[in-house]
Amino acid sequence: MKKTLAVSLTAMFLACTGPALAAENSQQSKMTVCNKEAGDRKGDERKAFMKSCLSAKKMTQQEKMTACNKEAGAKKGDDRKAFMKSCLSS
């Protein structure tokens, strides 16, 4: 009985903390990416960059496709395909 209760409580705890842990991992990933992009910036410039980078809303795949299509402009064939692949993967 005690073992069943312990297992049940553990399962409930994990179910409640799962979404919080996922959000934390997402924020950590974002912080890592923003730190890399910040490069050699220092002081107030770095603070401003990090603030805008961390608060930036991630584009949906559809929004990204629209933006990349605009950027691709009049490119055709293999040039367009290579550009779109690069743009959509960034």
What confidence tens digit (pLDDT) does each residue in 68-78 have? 999 898 999 99
Give the pLDDT band (50/70/90) at residue 89: confident
Q: Output the pLDDT for position 21.
A: 46
The residue type at 4 = T
For residues 11-26, average pLDDT: 55
| 64, 88 contact by CB (below 8 A) | yes
Q: pLDDT tens digits for 26-69?
A: 778 788 888 888 889 999 999 998 888 888 777 788 888 898 99
Tokens 């691709």 correspond to 72
First to last CA, the chain: 52
What is the four-CA torsion angle of 21, 59, 42, 31, rounded to 10 degrees? 10
